[in-house]
Structure 1
Amino acid sequence: MPLHQYDYVLAIGTFFALLDAYNNGANDVANSWATSVSSRSVSYRQAMILGTIFEMLGAITVGARTADTIKNGIIPNSAFRGDAGVQMLAFTCALAAASSWVMWCTRHSAHVSSTYSLISAVAGVGIATVGAKNVRWGWYGGKGLGAIFAGLGMAPAAAGCFGAIIFSLIRVVVHVRRNPVRWAVFTSPFWFLIAGTICTLSVVYKGSPNLKLNKKPAWYIASVTLGVGFGLALLSALFFVPYLYCLVINKDNDIRWYHMFLGPLNFKRPRPQGENEARVRDYAVVQNDPDMPEEKTVYGSESPNEEDFKGLPPAAIDGTPAMMATPATLVHGREAQQLSYREIMARNEERFHAKLRKKRGPLGWAMRTLHENPIGKGEIYEKHNIIALFKRIPAYIVCGALYGLHYDIHAAQSGVSGTPEGDRMQRVYGNAKKYSNEVEHTYSFVQVLTACTASFAHGANDVGNAAGPWAVIYTAWKTGNAAAAKAPVPIWQLAFLSATISVGLITYGYNIMKVMGNKITYHSPSRGCSMEMGAAITVLVFSQYSLPVSTSMCITGATVGVGLCNGTLKAVNFQRVGLLLFAWIMTIPIAGTIAGLLMGVVLNAPHFRS
């Protein structure tokens, strides 16, 4: 290899590329799937499986074009004057700044855009490396910063419009009808047609650069896309509609999912007698897990006593350091004051941990080990603390891998009942019309397809966040030529990074999902599929023009648009929307400044260029 002295830059750049992909899964993908999990259309584990499959499909088949925009559209390769080492360092610093910022935000359940974080970081290192005049601030054929940041406002607005149009259509066709259940069942093939067409359009029209499907004639693209869409609609009419007819219209609670394969024969099933309602899932939003014991005290109730704090992990209360907090200081030090919001959330988390400790299997063992072996008094090098630490390390590893899969999204995402956040969300839910579970159950199947479409679109668009800079670093290291970084992103890099995105979703996505589910507006399957469809359409349109818009911004915009369809501003939590906008805006200067400073310090270190 011609650049042996920069092997360490490649190693560091690879690490931060993987970290950026991991954060993308934990932050952006978790936000995308929060809609489906919040609507109860899929469980958290089902979302992990489907998200992994479709993220990788989208990244591998159509992800390379957006990566090229981030890689070559912001800083022209000519600005590096053939210095591959400086180019490697520039994109390594950009990845380090972006991934560190997004990781901090994810840890604190603050949702930000990993796309705009990386774009801002690339602009920051561009200023530090080649000067502001060499950074492409304008439009530059849709690849400059002007075009990219234009999507900051256009993409959420477009997604909101698309989502509102789709949900308004569902309301007119189904919800306002005299018999909405029957209308929902017999119009469901139309929504499978729409979802299938969009997903197929993503594959065929954008196409994988290696397959060159996007170079096919227009008639070929239209025929294949519509053929797949109508084929899916026909299959749903033959197999899905008869199954739903028996389940939600005839209220045949003896029918099982595998009876779906009987197709039209299900229409001949005898209608059961005495059934008053279909046994479908209750899609109403809840704020507490019924499997956990009720709280003795809530926000605004009587003062806590020392018994209430048994089992509560140490927390910083009234200035008391976390490792010094005890039940006595929690109660007597507060002089019988009411519980704070943070204390209530800590108590709720401890109740959930107590539930996990009762589980069988690796996670239950790990939670019991951590609970039974706390770090005691004194420094970490005390004998009893060293012994406890060695017992805790394998438990930490198991919890890190499995905790997210068992997290109680539905109990945590809406706020604990009795807190200011919980009361606010109750007011938001009260201004959203609730529809029957039978109708919502019909759209839960459609939402699974729309969620997969949205995940596919995310893989196509956002894998370029880490793939673009990593491709620059790897190609420059391999060839020793900065200009060679214009080569296409290898498929193996897209596959590897998409797998890392899935790991982030599975292990750490709950931090975002627990606050992004129902905290903007009320969710249900009919609303959720509208949100996801609107976001997917927006991402695919922008990605077609090589604009790396944020998928999370699109789903947020679509959520607000659908929430406004309730006919009142009170059905949307604009406090949460304002916090999101603030986090998005602050990402630009913070990520850019960190990356620029890091690049300036390292680039001017002695002997870097020797």
Structure 2
Amino acid sequence: MVLTQYTYVFAIGTFFALLDAYNNGANDVANAWATSVSSRSVSYRQAMVLGTVFEMLGAITVGARTAETIKNGIIPNSAFGGNASVQMLAFTCALAAASSWVMWCTRHSAHVSSTYSLISAVAGVGVATVGASKVQWGWNKGKGLGAIFAGLGMAPIISAGFAATIFMLIKVVVHMRKRPVRWAVYTSPLFFLIAGTICTLSIVYKGSPKLGLSKKPAWYIAAVTLGVGGGLFLLSAIFFVPFLHAKTVKKDYTVKWWMIFMGPLLFKRPAPADANLAKVPNYAVVQEDQDERLSIRSPDSVMDYDANKIETGDEPVTTPTEKDEKKLAVAEATQPTYKERMADAESKLHAKLRKKRGPLGWAMRTLHNNPIGAGQIYELHNLRILAKRIPAMIVCGALYGLHFDIHAAQSGIAGTPEGARMQRVYAHAEKFPNEVEHTYSFIQIITACTASFAHGANDIGNSVGPWAVIYSAWHTGSASAASAPVPIWQLVVLSATISIGLITYGYNIMKVMGNKITYHSPSRGCSMEMGAAITVLVFSQFSLPVSTSMCITGATVGVGLCNGTLKAVNFQRVGLLLLSWIATIPIAGTLGGVIMGLFLNAPHFAPK
């Protein structure tokens, strides 16, 4: 029996479920891919495509397990006393509170955990609805709040341990060798084996109930898992290793991407005489062009730059005069503020975008050439301008993130405390040969896809769990129907919405993550992503929702500490992240409880 009188509640719940999924993509998924983009292993656009594919694959095949915990592990169905309308309203308020809080934080580039936002909101709603005694505060067979919040402390530490172990293995096997390039090439199939095994194991072992794979015998699970992992190992050894050998060892710049299918024949392919002149990409984090270095400089950087010109003979040696000292003092006093520098950098980016051809260039020029005029928005001339601006605003919202300069935003603004802090962090991180990093840039694509798969498997439950409860209560008219399995179509819809959030707004979080914590490079990045992916999948196997953001942050700190000094990690940024995680729990919980309390005590929803 469909509760037609509460269709509007279902519609509102659906809206906030989609908004929560969108925020999840713009916040947590962006954080997961920030490592790959920061390491320059993939471009932002490539990350969008790969992220979409593997997010949906992980959500559809494995994501139903954590959804069950969100649905039934915190507030038991029996607590609603069969009142489906109150159950619908409860999870609608939880989604509204969590999505609103995460949206506000994302808008202000404050990184929070969407997982713990929703869990806290559900707990707050539960207190307002059925009382604190009915909320599952304990372990509850691994599905209560005690088990979930245990991951708040365990997940970052476990992830840091996994990531540090993997990176130290790379250091011992590759970076510390006399010929690290060859070692990097010939050990690369190992990471294909690890990635393929983890992904396959998570699908086959306790996979989606719809696939029925959890009922297979142990020998079947072992055979399929090792078969896929071993198959990827052999394929990479046959095709990928010769391709990498030609590019990094022989330095054959004539090798094209399609030649990977030549396999072992590339070993015999003669390299051109000038092969040693071939260069691989530069994976240094800070890459500023001449205009950027000269346009925004502190007094110290000005003096260093001038001193360098004198040493190289580009500038005659002159004795500083009193007039010059006064000019420098005036320059120091008139330095622009951090916000002014950020605004100046943003205006330069917009100026570049306005010169582009295509839809985005048109939209940026339209917005620039048609500012809102004097008076109120409902003035006739402003309505005409608004008619031109709205289509351009839609185009900008869809395409702006694909053209955002993530690397420029991450490197800090020269001459500010943040810029100086980043320089100190980068200076204490050991740099490895670009040929070695180039090898791991290919491997990082695999590990990034594995991390994205793990995120889809875990975080889809944040949105689909409450939405499944709302839908089942509305569609059947029974509160007990919430225990039914999550329909596949709901997983598909929300995983697609997560991908839209990543594509259109993920840059806003990505620009403050990655290199803002420690120095990134492909060999480091693949260790971070693999450590985080293993942790997320382990928690997912036990039906425990865990924050992907916390896992990748813990992995980043773990790898940063492998430099052998605390100075290689920006603990100020880590402290701010930790503060935002802790603050999320009471804020989201209180917000959800207050909203639910207000609506629950309205006459229409008063329980009998």
The TM-score, its normalising length taken from structure 2, stands at 0.93
SS of equivalent to 2:19: helix
Distance between the aligned counterparts of 2:111 and 2:496, measured in 1? 21
Distance between the aligned counterparts of 1:254 and 1:271, measured in 2? 8
Distance between the aligned counterparts of 1:531 and 1:480, measured in 2? 46
The counterpart of 1:405, out of the listed 399, 402, 405, is 402
Aligned CA RMSD, in angstroms, stands at 1.7
Match of 1:551 in 2: 548
The counterpart of 2:462, out of the listed 460, 465, 471, is 465
1:550 is displaced (CA, Å) by 0.6
Match of 1:92 in 2: 92
1:424 aligns with 2:421: yes
Match of 1:166 in 2: 166
Deviates more, 1:592-601 or 1:290-299: 290-299
SS of equivalent to 1:467: helix
Match of 2:495 in 1: 498
SS of equivalent to 1:276: helix
1:258 aligns with 2:258: yes
Distance between the aligned counterparts of 2:165 and 2:133, measured in 1? 42
Matches within 5 A, 1:316-395: 337-395=334-392
SS of equivalent to 1:607: helix
Cα deviations across residues 437-490 of structure 1 (Å, max 9, x unaligned)? 100010111110000000001001000000000000000001111011100110
Does the CA-based 8 Å contact 1:414-1:515 persist in structure 2? no
Pick closer, same or farther for the CA change 1:337–1:502 going to 2, 3 Å: same
Distance between the aligned counterparts of 2:533 and 2:104, measured in 1? 27
Distance between the aligned counterparts of 2:252 and 2:604, measured in 1? 77
Pick closer, same or farther for the CA change 1:364–1:292 going to 2, 3 Å: farther
Distance between the aligned counterparts of 1:105 and 1:300, measured in 2? 34
Cα deviations across residues 493-515 of structure 1 (Å, max 9, x unaligned)? 00100000000000000000011
Distance between the aligned counterparts of 1:440 and 1:297, measured in 2? 30
SS of equivalent to 1:282: coil
Does the CA-based 8 Å contact 1:192-1:229 persist in structure 2? yes
Unaligned runs of 5+ in 2: 303-330
Cα deviations across residues 218-270 of structure 1 (Å, max 9, x unaligned)? 12111111111111111111111111111111111111111111110001111
Does the CA-based 8 Å contact 1:299-1:339 persist in structure 2? no
Deviates more, 1:202-211 or 1:62-71: 202-211
1:513 aligns with 2:510: yes
SS of equivalent to 2:22: helix
Q: Which amino acid aligns with 1:296?
A: S
Matches within 5 A, 1:147-186: 147-186=147-186
Does the CA-based 8 Å contact 1:250-1:272 persist in structure 2? no
Distance between the aligned counterparts of 1:276 and 1:2, measured in 2? 72
Deviates more, 1:412-421 or 1:93-102: 412-421
Runs ≥4 in structure 1, deviation > 4 angstroms? 291-295, 299-303
Q: Which amino acid aligns with 1:38?
A: S
Match of 1:486 in 2: 483
Does the CA-based 8 Å contact 1:441-1:525 persist in structure 2? yes
Distance between the aligned counterparts of 2:45 and 2:300, measured in 1? 36
Match of 1:241 in 2: 241
Distance between the aligned counterparts of 1:479 and 1:224, measured in 2? 39
Distance between the aligned counterparts of 1:140 and 1:443, measured in 2? 42
1:300 is displaced (CA, Å) by 5.3
Does the CA-based 8 Å contact 2:299-2:332 persist in structure 1? no
Matches within 5 A, 1:582-593: 582-593=579-590
Q: Which amino acid aligns with 1:606?
A: P
1:106 aligns with 2:106: yes
Match of 2:83 in 1: 83
SS of equivalent to 2:194: helix
Does the CA-based 8 Å contact 1:121-1:593 persist in structure 2? yes
SS of equivalent to 2:147: helix
Match of 2:539 in 1: 542
SS of equivalent to 1:142: coil
SS of equivalent to 2:159: helix
Cα deviations across residues 141-198 of structure 1 (Å, max 9, x unaligned)? 1000000000000000000000000000000000000000010011111111111111
Distance between the aligned counterparts of 1:555 and 1:548, measured in 2? 15
Match of 1:529 in 2: 526
1:281 is displaced (CA, Å) by 1.4
Match of 1:296 in 2: 295
Distance between the aligned counterparts of 1:419 and 1:394, measured in 2? 37
Cα deviations across residues 552-587 of structure 1 (Å, max 9, x unaligned)? 110000000000000000000000000000000000
The counterpart of 2:431, out of the listed 434, 437, 446, is 434
Aligned residues: 579
Distance between the aligned counterparts of 1:491 and 1:548, measured in 2? 19
SS of equivalent to 1:360: coil
Q: Which amino acid aligns with 1:493?
A: Q
Distance between the aligned counterparts of 2:398 and 2:535, measured in 1? 33
Identity %: 77
1:294 is displaced (CA, Å) by 5.5
1:205 aligns with 2:205: yes
SS of equivalent to 1:273: coil
SS of equivalent to 1:518: helix
1:383 is displaced (CA, Å) by 3.6
Match of 2:318 in 1: none
The TM-score, its normalising length taken from structure 1, stands at 0.93
Distance between the aligned counterparts of 1:65 and 1:522, measured in 2? 35
SS of equivalent to 2:198: helix
SS of equivalent to 2:510: helix
Distance between the aligned counterparts of 1:376 and 1:422, measured in 2? 37
Q: Which amino acid aligns with 1:116?
A: Y
